[in-house]
Amino acid sequence: MAALLPLIILCPLAVAVILLLSRGTMPARATCGLVGVGMGLCALFGVIEAVTFLNGPDSTGALHVVLWHWIHVGGFDTSFALTLDRLSLVMMLVVSCIGFLILVYACSYMRDDPDIARFFVYMNLFVASMLLLVLSSDMIAVYFGWEGVGVCSYLLIGFWYHETPNANAARKAFVVTRIGDALFLVALLLLATGVGSLDFNAVIQAAPHAPHAAITLATLLLLGGAVAKSAQLPLQTWLPDAMAGPTPVSALIHAATMVTAGVYLIARLHAVFLLTPGVMLLCAVIGFVTILFAAGSALVQTDIKRVLAYSTMSQLGYMYMALGCGAWQGAMFHLVTHAFFKALLFMAAGSIILRVHHEQDIFKMGGLRQEMPGVFWAFIAGSAALAGLPLITAGYFSKEMILTSAYNVAPLFWLGGILGAFLTSIYIFRCVFITFWGEARTHAHGRTGIVQAVPLAILGVLAIIGGWMEVPDSLGSVHIFSNLLSPVLGELPEEHGGAVLLLIGSIVPLIGVSLAWMLWKPTGRAPEALDQPLVRVLRADWGFDALYDVVFVRPYLALGRLNRNDFIDRLYDLLASVTQFFGRAFGLMQTGQVRRYAAWIAVGTVLALCLAV
C-alpha cells in the first residue's frame, strides 16, 4: 500500500489548490463538503496505511517510498522520499484524524464568515505541511514542512488581519518562530557538511563517528529550533498572542500540529541526542522551568483561550522534560493524549464563545452548565484529562509515565512535575467553576449544532479512555503504546518507586480540584488577589514581553530610524536614478517612425564598418 502514503499528503493539498483556484466563488456549503471529503479521505487513507503496515511482514521496520531524486552534488545526495515507521505512523494518525475532526468542527464555526474559502485554503495547507514534516525521510523535506506550518500559522493567526491586534500577533509569531527556523537551518548545514547526508537513518548511523563538538553544536541548534516551534522558554511569548486567530486555528496549532513538531523532531533523532548528555539535560531543564512558569501564568488569566494557551505551553514542558530524561515513549504518549484533550478543550471553548456573543472573559460568563449541558460535559472531560484526574482520564496515565521516568533521572524533575500537576488542576478547574457555576452574567443563545457536537463527543471519549493503552505495572501492566514504539525508540525502562509515586500523583490533582472549588465555586467572582502586582506580572507572562520590548524591539526600531537615510540608501538611490535616466533616454528612441529606425540602422552599420576598418 505504498501508493497511499503520498496520497495522504496530496488529499489536503488538492483541496487547498481547488479552493485557491475557485478564488472564493465556491458557496460555503460546497466548500465545507469539499473539505470534509478531502480530510476524510486523508484520515481514511492514514488508517488503512497504518493497519496494513502493522499487519505486514516488515511492521518492525520501515516503508520507504522514493518520489524523486533531488540533489546530487559531490558526496552529498538527497532524495524526496517518504518513510513510514511506527513513530511517523503515530504522528500521521494524530495529524490526519484529529485534523479531520477539527476541520469538520470548523465548517460549522466558520460557516458565516465571508472568507471561509481562504480560511480552508490555509488550514488544508497547514495539515499538508505537517504531514510532509512527519512522513519525510530526509531533513531537507522536513524543513520544507517546518517552514510550511510556520507560514500557514502566520496566515491563520492573522486571518482577521483588518484588526490590528490580530496582525500584530501573527507578525510576532512569525518573527519569534523564525529565530528557531534559522537555528534549525544552521543545524542542517552543519550536519550536511559533517555527515554528508540529511537522511535520518544516515545521520543516526554516522553521528557516533563524527566529531563530538560538531554533533553537540548540531543538537543544541536543533533543540533551539524545537524550543521556538513548541513555545518553550525563552521563546514562548508568541503562543498566548496566537489566540487572536479563529478558535479552530488554536485547536489545530495547539493540539496536533505545529507545537508538537519540535517534540517529534527530537524523538526522531533520539539516538543522536543520546550522544550529547549536556544537551539532553538542557532540554529537561527547559521543560521543567516551562511547566512551572506557564502554569503560574495560567492561574491568573481571565481569557478562556489564554488559559488554554498557557496550559499548552505547560504540557509541552512535560514532553520536553521527558525527552531530556530519555523517556521517549512518555513524551510521545503525552503528545497523543494531549492532542485528544486539548483539541477538545479548544473546540468546547469555541462553542462557548459563539453562544455567549463572542465573549472570552470567564468572569463575564457563569452558570452556563444549565444552558449548554453538552458543551459543559465535553469541557469537564477535557479539563479532567488535562488535570490528570486518577484512573479515569488519559492525561493521568501519560503524565504518570513521564513523572516516573523523571524520578528515575532526578527527583527534582519529578517534584517540579508534581507541582505543575497541582497548579494545572487548580487553574483548569478555576476556569470550569467560574464559567459554569455561580450566577449567570451572560446568557447563551442558540444551540450547539450536530457538526460541532460529534467531534466534541468523539474527543470527549478519547480524553477519558485514550490513556488505557499504557497502564503502569502497579495498576495492571498494559504497555500497548510503548510496545508499539519500542522498535523505533527502544525498550521502556524499568519502573522504580511505582506504587508510592502513583499514589502521590493521584492525590495531588484531587487536592488541586478541591482547592479550586473552595476558592471559586461559591461566588464565581474574581478574588481581590487579581489586583495585586504579582498577579499582574504573572498575567503578563512574567514580564517577558516587556523585557524583550526593551532589550530587542525598541533598539531595533531606533536603529531602523537612524539608518533610514544612511549612505547605503543614497548609493541605491543613485543607481536607481541612473537606471531610470538611461531608460528614459532609450525610450526617446522608440518613436514608431520607420524612417528614423532605418536611419539608426544605417548609422550603426557605418560605425560598425569604421570600427572594423
DSSP readout, 493-505? PPP-SHHHHHHHH
Per-residue burial over 474-491, b = 16 or more CB atoms within 10 Å of its CB, e = otherwise = beeebbebbebbbebbee
Instruction: Answer yes or no: do 509 and 602 share one domain.
Output: no
* Final residue before a domain boundary, out of 526, 550, 583: 526
- Residue 403 in domain: yes
Instruction: Answer yes or no: do 598 and 494 share one domain.
Output: no
Residue type for position 472: P
* Final residue before a domain boundary, out of 526, 556, 576: 526
What backbone phi and psi angles, to 5 degrees, belong to 391? 70, -25
Residue 530: predicted pLDDT: 58
Instruction: Answer yes or no: do 497 and 599 share one domain.
Output: no
Q: What phi-psi label fits residue 468: left (phi over 0), alpha (psi between -120 and 50 degrees) or beta?
A: alpha
Residue 256: predicted pLDDT: 64
Are the beta carbons of 343 and 101 closer than 8 angstroms?
A: yes
Residue type for position 431: C
What are the E-state strand segments in 15-88? 63-73, 76-84
Please identify which residue in the block is written with the cell numbers 517510498.
Answer: 65
What backbone phi and psi angles, to 5 degrees, belong to 79? -125, 155
Rounded distance between C-alpha atoms, residue 406 and residue 403, angstroms = 5
Residue 528: predicted pLDDT: 46
Residue 565: predicted pLDDT: 66
Residue 527: predicted pLDDT: 47
Domain count, the chain: 2
Measure Cα distances from 193 to 72, 76, 88, 210 in Å.
Answer: 14, 8, 26, 11
Domain that includes residue 384, residue range? 293-526
- Residue 172 in domain: no
Residue type for position 509: P
Instruction: Answer yes or no: do 379 and 506 share one domain.
Output: yes
**Residue ranges in the chain modelled with pLDDT below 50:** 524, 526-529
* Final residue before a domain boundary, out of 526, 556, 583: 526
Instruction: Answer yes or no: do 332 and 439 share one domain.
Output: yes
Burial class of residue 135 (count of CB atoms within 10 Å of its CB; 0-12, 13-18, 19+): buried
Rounded distance between C-alpha atoms, residue 59 and residue 50, angstroms = 10
Instruction: Answer yes or no: do 342 and 408 share one domain.
Output: yes
- Residue 457 in domain: yes
Instruction: Answer yes or no: do 422 and 310 share one domain.
Output: yes
Which cell numbers hold the place of 102? 477539527
Are the beta carbons of 101 and 459 closer than 8 angstroms?
A: yes
Instruction: Answer yes or no: do 436 and 383 share one domain.
Output: yes
Vertex 385 angle, CA 381 and 388, to 5° = 140
Please identify which residue in the block is written with the cell numbers 543520546.
Answer: 274
Instruction: Answer yes or no: do 343 and 399 share one domain.
Output: yes
- Residue 307 in domain: yes
Instruction: Answer yes or no: do 340 and 450 share one domain.
Output: yes
- Residue 382 in domain: yes
Rounded distance between C-alpha atoms, residue 583 and residue 592, angstroms = 17
Which cell numbers hold the place of 110? 466558520
Rounded distance between C-alpha atoms, residue 600 and residue 367, angstroms = 88
- Residue 80 in domain: no
* 3-class secondary structure, 113: coil
Rounded distance between C-alpha atoms, residue 182 and residue 146, angstroms = 11
Rounded distance between C-alpha atoms, residue 379 and residue 346, angstroms = 9
Instruction: Answer yes or no: do 494 and 373 share one domain.
Output: yes
Q: How many CB atoms lie within 10 A of CB 296?
A: 20
Per-residue burial over 367-390, b = 16 or more CB atoms within 10 Å of its CB, e = otherwise = bbbebbebbbebbbbbbbbbbbbb
Please identify which residue in the block is written with the cell numbers 505495572.
Answer: 473
Count CA within 13 A, CB hemisphere, residue 165. 6
Instruction: Answer yes or no: do 335 and 409 share one domain.
Output: yes
Q: pTM for the full model?
A: 0.90
What backbone phi and psi angles, to 5 degrees, belong to 242? -65, -10
Are the beta carbons of 92 and 8 closer than 8 angstroms?
A: yes
- Residue 208 in domain: no
- Residue 432 in domain: yes
